[in-house]
Amino acid sequence: MPLANYFRKMNEIKPPTFRLSTSLCETCYLFQLDYQPKPSDMFNETYPFFTGLSQNMREHFGFMVDTILSINPINHESFVVELGCNDGTALSFVRNRGVPHLGIDPSENVLRLAENNGININLGFFTTELAHEIVKMHGRASHVFAANVICHIPDLKDLAKGIEYLLQESGIFVFEEPYLVDMLAQVSYDQIYDEHVFIFSLASVKEVFSKYGLFLFDAEHQETHGGSMRYFLSKNRERPMSSRLQALMDAENEVGIKDRGGYIDFIDKCLSNRNDLVDLLTKLKKQGKSVAGYAATSKSTTILNFCKIGPDLIQRIYDSTPEKAGCVTPGSNIPIHSQDELRLNPPDYLVLFAWNHKTEIMTKEKKALPQDQKWILFVPKVEILNES
Ligand code: TYD
C-alpha cells in the first residue's frame, strides 16, 4: 500500500509503499498495524489534512471543548494542551475563553495556520522528552486532549508516560478516535491505513493506559468519522467509573471484539464489499457512464488500492482541499480536481469517499448538483442513491 496522504503531481516521485496488514493482541485486545512507515514520512510540512475544512467538525470540536472544560472546570491553574492540534480549530475554542493553552503538531504547514489563528504552538512529535520540556516551560496541564490523533502514534508506551508526566494530579486526558466496534459492524475497512496504527476499543484503552497510570473513568460514543468513541482518563485511579462507561463496556463485550470469529467474518465482508464495488463500477463502465469520486480522503487510498480501482473505473475525484487539486491519488493515479469543477460538469455517478461526512455533503450538494444526481455508497454496503 502507498502512504494514504501522499497526494503528489503525476510526474513526481512514486509514493513510498509498505506492507499493510493487521493483528489483534490477544492479551490487551489492541487492534493494530503490523508495520508502519516512518512517522516523519507521513507527518511533515506537506500534510494535506485541514480540520477546519468541515463545518460539522468545527461545530463538533466546539462541543468537545465545552465537555472537556466542564469536567474539570477552569481555574487559575488551568493549562490545556492539545496533541495533534492541526490548524487549531479545536484550540480556538479554548483560546476564546482566555485559557492558557498549547497546541503540538509535527506538520509545519497546518501548525502555521494555527499560529496565525492566535494559538500557542509547539512544532514536533509529542514524546515523554517533549512532555518534560513543556512542564519546565509552562508547568503541568489540567487537561490534555486529542482528536483523531492518538491512533497515529506508534509508541503508545512513551506517549502514555509523557501524558501522565504532563498532567496535574487532578488532570484529565480526553481523546477520541474511530471505534473498533463501528468499523467491524459497518465494514468500514478504509479506516485501516498507514496513519491509523491502532483502532481502539474500550477494552484496549482501559488495559493499555492503566499500565502507565491513566485510568479510564468515562466514555461517550460519537457519530463523527462513521462512529467514534471519546475516552476520558484520569491520573487519579480512585475516580469512579461512570455508569455510562459500564453500559458501553457491557455492550462491547456482547459484540465479541475479543473473539477471533468476529474478525474472520469481517474479512469475508471486506472481500464481498470489494467485489460488489468493482462489479458495479465495471458494469457502469460497460454502459458508458461517467463516474467520479467525491473527496480524495486518506481512507480512499485503502479502497482504491485494495480494489485496484484506477482512472479506467473512476475518471477523477473532486476535493475541496486546494493543495490536492492537480495531484493524483497515491498508487491509483486518479486525477484530483477542485470541487468548483464538479458543479460545472457533474458526472452520471459520484462515489462518496467521505462517507463519514455524508449528511453535511448531501445537504450542501443538494443545492449545487442536479436533483437526480446519483451517488454510490460503499459503507456499510455498496448501493446507489437516487437510482430510479
Ligand atoms: P475525512 O473523511 O475527514 O478524512 P480522511 O482524509 O482522514 O479520510 O475527509 C477529508 C477529505 O475530504 C479532505 O480531502 C477534504 C474532503 N472533503 C471534501 O472534498 N468536501 C467536503 O464537503 C468534505 C466534508 C470533505
Q: What are the C-alpha distances in Å from 253 to residues 116, 182, 184, 203, 249?
A: 45, 14, 14, 9, 6
Identify the burial level of 26 via C-beta atoms within 10 angstroms of its C-beta, where 0-12 means exposed, 13-18 middle and 19 or more buried. Answer: exposed
pLDDT confidence of residue 291: 98
Whose CA is closest to atom 16 on ligand 1? 295
Ligand 1 within 6 A of CB of 297: yes
Query: Residue written as cell 484529565?
Result: 172
Of residues 208, 102, 229, the one with CA closest to residue 160: 208
Whose CA is closest to atom 2 on ligand 1? 354
Give the C-alpha separation, 168 to 142, whole Å.
6
- Specify the ligand 1 atom closest to the Cα of 225: 2
187 Cα: distance to centroid of ligand 1 (angstroms): 19
Q: To test the ligand 1 pocket, which listed residue (54, 182, 365) has its Cβ within 8 A of the most ligand atoms?
A: 54
Q: To test the ligand 1 pocket, which listed residue (297, 324, 355) has its Cβ within 8 A of the most ligand atoms?
A: 297
Which residues of the chain, if any, have pLDDT below 70?
Answer: 388
Of residues 141, 203, 149, the one with CA closest to residue 171: 141
Q: 380: cis peptide before it, omega within 30°?
A: yes
pLDDT confidence of residue 124: 94
Ligand 1 within 6 A of CB of 321: yes
Ligand 1 within 6 A of CB of 234: no
pLDDT tens sequence across 211-227:
999 999 999 999 999 99
Buried b (16+ CB within 10 A) or exposed e, 147-162: bbbbbbbeebebbbbb
178 Cα: distance to centroid of ligand 1 (angstroms): 15
Ligand 1 within 6 A of CB of 323: no
pLDDT confidence of residue 13: 80
Ligand 1 within 6 A of CB of 107: no
339 Cα: distance to centroid of ligand 1 (angstroms): 12
pLDDT confidence of residue 278: 98
Give the C-alpha separation, 156 to 327, whole Å.
33
CB 218 within 8 A of CB 244: yes
Taking the whole predicted model, whether its pTM rises above 0.75 is answered as: yes
Give the C-alpha separation, 227 to 67, whole Å.
18
Those residues with Cβ within 8 angstroms of residue 192's Cβ, 6 or more apart along the chain or in another chain: 20, 22, 33, 183, 199, 302
- Specify the ligand 1 atom closest to the Cα of 56: 24
Ligand 1 within 6 A of CB of 298: yes
143 Cα: distance to centroid of ligand 1 (angstroms): 28
CB 176 within 8 A of CB 147: yes
Q: To test the ligand 1 pocket, which listed residue (51, 107, 298, 301) has its Cβ within 8 A of the most ligand atoms?
A: 298
Give the C-alpha separation, 131 to 137, whole Å.
10
Quote the cell numbers at residue 34: 503490523
Identify the burial level of 91 via C-beta atoms within 10 angstroms of its C-beta, where 0-12 means exposed, 13-18 middle and 19 or more buried. Answer: buried
Whose CA is closest to atom 22 on ligand 1? 361
145 Cα: distance to centroid of ligand 1 (angstroms): 22
pLDDT confidence of residue 382: 98
